[in-house]
Amino acid sequence: MRDSIKLLAIDLDDTLVRDDNTISEYTRKILQQAQDKGIQIVIATGRMYQTARPVGLALGLGDLPMILFSGGLVQRIESGEKLWEQTIPVPIAKEILALARDNDWYVQSYETDALLVHHETEQSRFYEKTVGAKAVYIGDDLYTNVTGPNKLLFLEEPAKLEVISKLLQEKYGDVLEIVRSKVNFLEINCGHCTKGSTLANMVTDLGLRASEVVAFGNSQNDISMLEYAGTAVAVANAEDNVKAIAQIVCPSNEDDGVAHWIEENIL
């Protein structure tokens, strides 16, 4: 395997990043060694540029492209250059935001690298603390001044998210990607935008094959790229349905599992 792997696709939250939103010096060193060996590294996350960029910079891997919004945007770490983007159609976004308003569901919208929220709540404070984002509170403009979100995110208790997910899948499942990225995060992304589909396009553009790719993940929005990659690795803290489709389970994000697997199997 050591010489057959050409690209590593790695999720951030609960996979590469520790629970305190940091990257260990050991993980940074191992990824840099992999890059020095000629292996391509792609960060694939549900995050926006604003919150993914600090992690990308901390890795010290240069101006690499990152897959953001679970596949809806590809943007370079350092320069911020957008390489590809697809947003949620405005009419559909407005319908979903209206559902959130009418049912008093917490939702936030992402437009032009801004995190848009109606007003400050316990959920918005939790999200800011968890991923290092800075929310912009815009009141009812959240529902009306919509120009094409990269993503909508519902943050609620798991039981309520099940209800929201079921309703949205029934109404929009054929035109949007609706996936959980954490137990209490439900992401709404552009249609046919997944980590797997966007990664596949990048791999083809690089002249590589799926068999030369290793993907690392932990949650529902990672399944598409784990299914695509020739080697699928789930961290020990991954959800059971993710472990079920992975070929390998490595140690948890808190134990630098991704870096340990790379060192033991590739370096």
Domain assignment present for residue 130? The answer is yes
Q: Closest by alpha carbon to 44, among 20, 22, 21, 15?
A: 15
Domain assignment present for residue 102? The answer is yes
pLDDT of residue 1: 66
For 208, phi then psi, to 5°, come to -105, 175
Q: Note whether 95 and 12 are same-domain residues.
A: no
Q: Note whether 140 and 186 are same-domain residues.
A: yes
pLDDT of residue 180: 87
pLDDT of residue 131: 85
Q: How far apart are CA 263 and CA 267, in angstroms?
A: 5
Q: Note whether 175 and 198 are same-domain residues.
A: no
What total of structural domains would you count in the chain?
2
* pTM score above 0.75: yes
pLDDT of residue 130: 86
Residue type at position 148? G
pLDDT block averages, 10 residues each, the chain of length 267: 89 95 95 96 96 95 95 96 96 97 96 95 93 93 96 96 96 93 92 94 96 97 97 97 96 98 96
**CATH for 244:** 3.40.50.1000
Q: Which residue segment(s) compose the domain that 50 sits in? A: 7-85+193-265
For 214, phi then psi, to 5°, come to -115, 130
Domain assignment present for residue 2? The answer is no
131-138's contacts with Cβ under 8 Å and 24+ in sequence apart are 131/13, 131/21, 131/47, 131/51, 132/21, 132/51, 132/54, 133/48, 133/50, 133/51, 134/50, 135/108
- How does DSSP classify residue 118? S
Domain assignment present for residue 1? The answer is no
